[in-house]
Amino acid sequence: MRNVMLKAQELAQAIVESSVYQRMQTAEAQATSDQDAAKAIAAFMEKRQAVNDMLGQDDVDREALAKLGEEMDAAEKALDEVPAIREMQESRSRFNQMMENVNQILRLIISGETEDGGCSGSCSGCSNCSTCGGCGE
């Protein structure tokens, strides 16, 4: 059991030291300090809260709800156009892909089963696939 825990700690350390994780951390820090990102997030959250508040009412005005829904969609689109937010989302996506591949490798080794596609767990035939960040990660 001790060996398993030590290997888990080593894996966690390797993940934290990976360029994929480091990029995500940097992107999140930049997004939280970016004024445009903060404004876009606040606008989106305000619209989302307004939609939730309206949905909580007994008698929902469907036209007003549709209008708020459109405003929320516009705020989300504006949020996605902020470069710092876009970078944060892309880096989170790449990190999530890496973690899915780590879990897939664990499943493959433990149970012999895996889902189709993604990383095989072997770097010998790796072509630096974009899903795991490449074997250099």
- The confidence band for 136, taking pLDDT boundaries of 50, 70 and 90, is low
Structure tokens at 70: 């459109």
Structure tokens at 119: 């990383």
Q: Work out the burial of residue 84: count CB atoms within 10 Å of its CB; fewer than 13 is exposed, 13-18 middle, 19 or more buried.
A: buried
Mean pLDDT of the residues in the chain = 88
b/e burial code for range 50-64 (CB count within 10 A of at least 16 → b): beeebeeeeeeeeee
Summarised one tens digit per residue, pLDDT across range 20-36 is: 999 999 999 999 999 99
Please tell me what DSSP assigns to residue 120: -
Summarised one tens digit per residue, pLDDT across range 86-132 is: 999 999 999 999 999 999 999 999 988 766 555 555 565 555 555 45
Domains annotated on the chain, with CATH? 2-93 (1.20.1500.10)
Instruction: Assess contact for 84 and 27: CB atoms under 8 A.
Output: yes
